[in-house]
Amino acid sequence: MGELVLAERRGGVLLVTLNRPAALNALNLELLRELGAVLAQVGDARAVVLTGAGEKSFVAGADISAMAELDAMTAYTFAAEGQAILNALEALPIPTIAAVNGFALGGGCELAMACDLILAAPNAVFGQPEVKLGVIPGFGGTQRLVRRVGSQRARELIFTGRNVKAEEAVQLGLALRVTAGPVVEEALALAEAIAQNAPVAVQLAKRAILDNDGVPLGAALVNEQQLFGLCFATTDQKEGMAAFLGRRKASFIGR
Ligand code: CO8
């Protein structure tokens, strides 16, 4: 891998750090491509924690100096490539946690929203300030913010471009909680707790939630039934239930 995105294993968890602190980890194409390459190689990790290097910022947005010179077609291509990488992040089979350690603005907020869970450090600041720059969110913000916080709240944030501090982000449902200690450590602990559960079951639960977004309830419930049935093809289902009945701790193998 290159040096714009660092990936290291911490037990069952893959810690991914966006590493361009001099530009507050702003997303340029090189960084996005490195992120795409890292996401393609999560291996047998059971969860991912995504954070930004430095004390100040998760990601301060798409790189404005790179965007300033784009024309309509290259901007379209940039948005398409960025969206594809965020879609790949969202579609990862394993749970993902954004550890937001400062600014998560524009593309940074959009990146966090492509993760399953968002933990906010006390200094986290969220926002979609694109209209202040004469553009609109282009990495999924008009869609994922609506889904996270509801249509009216999303409209207010996108139309005003205002900043949202950590506590308000929690009230809005944008972030799960504000962490008391270092956000990366708390995200790793949360990821490790998830990693203790039956991995296939966790993955199928994520599938059931993600794949049925926007699907009519009846069809979504049928899909849930099928995925529930599929769990019974795993050794871990037998182990999990036998361990409960035998009053011992389950030992899962991920199959
Ligand atoms: N792009 C490029 N460089 C940036 C960015 C950015 N988004 N944000 C910060 N930087 C750079 C600064 O230019 C500065 O560099 P240098 O030291 O070389 O001058 C360095 O990071 C430090 O930043 P500041 O000195 O500005 O730090 P402050 O603490 O004073 O301010 C802020 C921090 C408030 C976060 C401020 O940097 C800021 O407002 N940044 C821009 C935030 C923003 O508007 N983000 C949204 C961008 S638009 C977007 O994300 C669209 C996504 C969809 C794209 C679709 C594809 C076409």
Instruction: Count the domains in the chain.
Output: 2
79 lines ligand 1 (CB under 6 A): yes
How would residue 2 be classed by pLDDT, with cut points 50, 70 and 90?
confident
Are 210 and 121 found together in one domain?
A: no
205 shares a domain with 113: no
Please tell me the predicted confidence (pLDDT) of residue 193.
Answer: 97
| Active-site residue flag, 156 | no
Catalytic residue among 130, 186, 192, 224: 130
Ligand 1 and 103: CB distance under 6 A: yes
pLDDT reported for residue 82: 96
Let me know whether 76 and 189 are in one domain.
Answer: yes
Task: Return d(Cα 37, Cα 164) in angstroms, integer.
Answer: 31
Rounded to the nearest integer, the mean pLDDT of the chain is 97
Q: What type of residue sits at position 165?
A: K
Q: Evaluate if residue 51 carries a pLDDT over 80.
A: yes
The two structure tokens encoding residue 230: 């599929």
The pair phi, psi for residue 69, each rounded to 5°, is -95, 0
Report the sign of the C-alpha dihedral through residues 142, 79, 116, 21, in that order. negative
106 CA to middle of ligand 1, Å? 9
* Same domain assignment for residues 75 and 50: yes
Segment 127-149 shows an average pLDDT of: 98
- Are 183 and 175 in contact by the 8 Å Cβ rule? The answer is no
Pairs from 27-33 (Cβ < 8 Å, separation ≥ 24): 27/59, 27/61, 27/62, 27/63, 27/82, 27/107, 27/108, 27/111, 27/139, 28/62, 28/63, 28/66, 29/66, 29/78, 29/81, 30/2, 30/4, 31/4, 31/5, 32/81, 32/82, 32/85, 33/81, 33/85
Residues 186 and 114 in one domain: yes
**Alpha carbon of 7 to ligand 1 centroid (Å):** 24
Q: Which domain holds residue 222?
A: 199-245
| 110 given a catalytic annotation | yes
Give pLDDT, residue 103: 98
SS3 state of residue 78: helix
Ligand 1 contact via 141 beta carbon (within 6 Å):
no
Global model pTM greater than 0.75: yes
What CATH code is carried by the domain that includes residue 185? 3.90.226.10
| pLDDT (0 to 100) of residue 1 | 55
User: Residue 74 Cα, ligand 1 centroid: separation in angstroms?
Assistant: 20
Residue 146 has pLDDT above 90, yes or no: yes
